[in-house]
């Protein structure tokens, strides 16, 4: 699932400082549409210190993105849609990650 970490570690780099997500202030969205909408609004409103928005390509992939960000030591927030898939993913995330 995660292919960049071993490659970057092999060359002595650190993903959270060199490439990939920000070390803090990341926002995971369900999909590319959420990503584009939020980026457009942040740019239009000229928001300083805007979060790094990461689209997960579907609600079922959010758990994988969270796993990678935790492994890299990056902070994050999650934006879910207000639908049954969003509620289901919320339950999955709480059950998988609240015990850490």
Instruction: Identify any residues that bridge with 27 across adjacent strands, giving them in sequence order.
Output: 53, 77
pLDDT of amino acid 38: 92
DSSP 5-69: HHHHHHTT--HHHHSSS-SS-EEEESSHHHHHHHHHHHHHTT-TT--EEEE-SSGGGHHHHHHHH
Between 79 and 8, residue with greater pLDDT: 79
Tokens found for residue 43:
């740019």
Residue owning tokens 């369900």: 30
The span from the CA of 11 to the CA of 91, in Å, is: 38
Most confident of 4-8, 17-21, 41-45: 41-45
Whether the predicted pLDDT of 28 surpasses 70: yes
pLDDT of amino acid 37: 92
> What mean pLDDT comes out for the span 16-41?
77
């Amino acid at each position: 699932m995660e292919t960049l970490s071993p490659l970057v570690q092999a060359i002595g780099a650190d993903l959270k400082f060199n490439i990939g997500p920000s070390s803090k202030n990341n926002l995971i969205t369900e999909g590319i549409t959420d990503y584009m909408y939020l980026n457009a609004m942040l740019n239009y409103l000229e928001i300083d210190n805007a979060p790094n928005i990461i689209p997960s390509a579907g609600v079922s992939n959010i758990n994988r993105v969270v796993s990678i960000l935790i492994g890299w030591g990056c902070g994050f927030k999650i934006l879910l849609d207000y639908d049954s898939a969003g509620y289901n993913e919320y339950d999955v995330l709480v059950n998988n990650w609240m015990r850490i």
